[in-house]
Amino acid sequence: MRKVRKGDRVKVISGNDKGKIGRVLVVYPERERIIVENVRMITKHQRATQTMREPGIVRREGTIHISNVLPICSDCGLPTRVGFTVVDGDKMRRCNQCGKAFR
């Protein structure tokens, strides 16, 4: 059970993108890193290859560490540290702000 999951809205709490809010696109659990839309944009200079004939500049998201974000509670809308709780035998995350359980 992870504190941050794919599809979550999260708020960035440190680094250059501090304060930004975005959706989690990818989670790399073994490295505890995630990709958040429009956060940590990096510019790659793409060379022409056989499959991509147009060289150019590609902007895409880089990874950030999971500890740099807080999930935003879908109930109270606040960025929150999450706890865990069990509801009807299901392990759920729990918002530390409002106490509501969520998946």
Applying CB under 5 A, the residues found at the interface with Zn ion are 73, 75-76, 95, 97-98
CA 44 to chain centre: 21
C-beta of 62 vs 99, nearer to Zn ion = 99
**65 — phi, psi (to 5°)?**
-75, 145
Backbone region of residue 43 per phi and psi (left: phi > 0; alpha: psi in -120 to 50; beta: other values): beta
C-beta of 40 vs 93, nearer to Zn ion = 93
Q: Which ranges of the chain would DSSP assign to H, the alpha helix? A: none
**What's the Cα-to-Cα distance from 60 to each of 1, 38, 96, rounded to whole Å?**
28, 8, 32
C-beta of 35 vs 71, nearer to Zn ion = 71
